[in-house]
Every structure is written in structure tokens, then in C-alpha cells.
Amino acid sequence: MSALPATGRAWHLVARPHGWPKAEDVALREVPVTEPAPGSVLVRNRYFSVDPYMRGRMNDVKSYIPPFRLDRPMEGSAVGEVIASAAEGIAVGDHVLHFLGWREYSEVPAAQAVKVDPELAPLSAYLGVLGMPGLTAYAGLFEVGAFKEGDAVFVSGAAGAVGSLVGQLARIKGASRVIGSAGSEAKVKLLTEEYGFDAAFNYKSGPVGELLREAAPDGIDLYFDNVGGDHLEAAITSLNDFGRAVICGMISLYNETENPPGPRNLPMIIGKRLRLEGLMVNDHQKLQPRFVQEVAGWIASGELRYDETVVEGIENGYDAFMGLMRGENTGKMVVSL
Ligand code: NDP
């Protein structure tokens, strides 16, 4: 076995951001690399994920997941190759998915490492289309959203990791109309020309309410919310009677220092008998096998497309995260190491 390096680099949170994070809030530091403790493996990471929810973990607030600790490496999904093992069942050369990302080398307890097969899918896919964002789309649409054939579906953040799958899954399962919103003309084109959306609009080109009304003149039955704010207000206005909204994310608010008031049209929920329901992907782990089987099948048949934006080099990891917040990604944003 070749000797382990003495150190590896890891992104640390060093200050809690107020509003949009700044470069000074994080630091890329050298940390020691050691032989794994009994029951653990040492992983040379190949990709780590940057995700919108990580912005919430930078704040010192009680949430469904604890805040990142200051002066400690940040965490998140990562995939890599086992280079030393002190655990039964995981060998050097195996590839694993785990939750100690944002660093080159991770010492991972075996119970927290899931073996993945790089022959079945590219390693990065386990962070995106076949991973947590993919399951979010699948569970949100089919379980929480109770999608049924013939529904007109609107999804915001539609060119992102979750949104691009939501729209395509709805199309594959027989939606009457699939509408998406995204933040550039290029993304809008991708939605209608490559992903098979019936209509799409650039939310930066006018009031979202008007753009949605034009794109969905007969209204919508199901809204998958990745954005919140004016998107949610517009969707409530366009939802038909007994419509549903899956509240998955509200990225338009994550870097705000004060939550804006609204949506202003909540009374419509009563008259239209709407149902708005929050989604937490971790509640739906039991769907994982069915999700992987179905989605992998649609990828193989060419019915479902996915994109990734790969940022090279751990030194660019934080820029990748900030780029995600600014919409520089198409599909899943990952960092390759
Ligand atoms: P994406 O790949 O969609 O990346 C984020 C995208 O958000 C950007 O590309 C950008 O695209 C868009 N965006 C940024 N700011 C705004 C804004 N002010 N208004 C509208 N769009 C904006 O990320 P994910 O697919 O990983 O996540 C999508 C959403 O799902 C997030 O809100 C996330 O928090 C949530 N989520 C929730 C989970 C749960 O269990 N509830 C699990 C996983 C994700 P554009 O160019 O179009 O602006």
C-alpha cells in the first residue's frame, strides 16, 4: 500500500455570513491525514456536492440539520475511492458515497459510507440525478405532490438539479402541460428544446405572475416550489381548484437578511381549496430503490436527460457554491478533485 499523504485540504467555515456570504467567511486549510480508526475508512474524494441548503447551515440557527461548526471542515455529500480501510466489508479500491465532503480526504465510519458502483453510473451522478436531488424531485412530485396523469405542472428553478428532473418526470408520467421558470434565455431554451417542457420563461424578464399566466393560460394543478417569494405568489394565483404545491425550497430568500412579507394572496388557498405541503427528502428514503431503478431506466432509454456543471479543483469549491447561488449552474453543480 502506498504511503498516505501527510495532509489534505479542507474548506472551513470561519465566520457566519450575514446576507450573501463573502470570501472571508471561509478558508481552505491543510489538515492532517491519518490512518483510519478501527471501523472507519479513508476516502480520497473525487467529487463533492455544493447544495443550496448549505447556506442555511452557515447560520447559527436551530433547523432540521445542525449548523456548520466554526473553524471545522464543512460537510456535505461526496464520492470517492477508499485508500485505506479498517472496516469490514469495505476494501481499498471500493467507491463510496458519504457525508464528509468539502475536503480532499475524509475519514468515514463504515456505517456512514454507502458503496457505489462507478461502472453503473458516473461517480458524479450519485450526487445528483441518482442521489439526493434526484430523490427530492421523485418523492416531491409523486409522494408529496400526489402527481396524477393529466396534471398541469409548474416547477421553478427548472434548469437546476431538482427542477430539471421534476419537469421531465412529470412529462414522462403524462402531465397535460409542463411549465418551467429559470434565470436565463439559454436555460429557457434548454427546457423547451432538450428537456421537453411545453413552455418556459425567464423570470428575470418580467413580473412572474404575468409570465406564468401567459405560459399556463388554463392554470396549473401542481406547483413544485424551489424558489419561494414572487414565484410562490404567482403559483397560488395560477393554481386551479384543489391544486397542490410542494414546498421544496425557497432559494430566493436564503441570502436575504429579512424575510419579505407575502405571498400576499394566501386567502386564495381557502376558496380554491389548495394544499401546500413542505417536503424533506430524508423522509422518503424508502423510495430510494424504486427511484434509482426507474430513473436509471429512463436515462438509459434516453427519455430523461440530465446536465452537470463540474467545477475543477478543490481551490474553486467555494466559488462553485457561490456560483450555484447566483445561477451559474445548469443541472447539478459538483466540484471535482
Ligand atoms: P439548483 O441546481 O436548482 O441550483 C440553484 C438554482 O437556484 C440556481 O441555479 C438558480 O438558477 C436558482 N436561483 C438562485 N437564486 C434565485 C432567485 N433569487 N430566484 C429564482 N431562482 C434562483 O439547486 P438544487 O436543485 O440542488 O435545489 C433546488 C431547490 O431545492 C433549492 O431551493 C433547495 O434548497 C431545495 N432542496 C430541498 C430539499 C428538501 O428536502 N426540501 C432537498 C434538495 C434541495 P436560475 O439561473 O434559474 O436563477
The rounded Å distance from CA 40 to ligand 1 centre is 33
Percent of the chain with pLDDT over 90: 97
Domain 7-128+307-336: give its CATH superfamily.
Answer: Medium-chain alcohol dehydrogenases, catalytic domain (3.90.180.10)
Q: Residue 64 is placed in which grid cell?
A: 432540521
Reported as a single tens digit per residue, the pLDDT across 240-260 is: 999 999 999 999 999 999 888
**pLDDT, average across residues 116-131:** 96
Per-chain mean pLDDT for the chain: 97
Cα 156 from Cα 137, distance rounded (Å)? 12
Ligand 1 atom closest to Cα of 184? Answer: 46
Residue 298 has pLDDT above 80, yes or no: yes
Atom 4 of ligand 1 has which residue's CA nearest to it?
Answer: 160
Please check whether residue 55 is in contact with residue 43, taking contact to mean a CB–CB distance below 8 angstroms. no
What's the confidence (pLDDT) of residue 261? 78
What's the confidence (pLDDT) of residue 117? 94
What's the confidence (pLDDT) of residue 88? 96
Q: At 262, is the pLDDT very low, low, confident or very high (cuts 50, 70, 90)?
A: confident
Residue-wise burial string across 197-224, b where 16 or more C-beta atoms lie within 10 A, e elsewhere: bbbbbbbeeeebbebbeebbeebbbbbb
Residue 284 has pLDDT above 60, yes or no: yes
Reported as a single tens digit per residue, the pLDDT across 25-37 is: 999 999 999 999 9
CATH fold of 133-282, please? Rossmann fold (3.40.50)
The rounded Å distance from CA 52 to ligand 1 centre is 6
The rounded Å distance from CA 36 to ligand 1 centre is 35
Atom 15 of ligand 1 has which residue's CA nearest to it?
Answer: 252
Residue 2 has pLDDT above 70, yes or no: no
Cα 325 from Cα 321, distance rounded (Å)? 7
- By CB atoms closer than 10 A (0-12, 13-18, 19+), residue 145 is buried
**pLDDT, average across residues 45-56:** 98
Reported as a single tens digit per residue, the pLDDT across 160-175 is: 999 999 999 999 999 9
Residue-wise DSSP of 139-172 = HIIIIIS---TT-EEEESSTTBHHHHHHHHHHHH
What are the sequence ranges of the domains in the chain?
7-128+307-336, 133-282
What's the confidence (pLDDT) of residue 3? 85
Helix axes 132-139, 288-301, angle to 10 degrees: 100
What's the confidence (pLDDT) of residue 269? 98
Q: At 1, is the pLDDT very low, low, confident or very high (cuts 50, 70, 90)?
A: low
Q: At 205, is the pLDDT very low, low, confident or very high (cuts 50, 70, 90)?
A: very high
Ligand 1 atom closest to Cα of 53? Answer: 34
Reported as a single tens digit per residue, the pLDDT across 127-182 is: 999 999 999 999 999 999 999 999 999 999 999 999 999 999 999 999 999 999 99
**pLDDT, average across residues 189-215:** 98
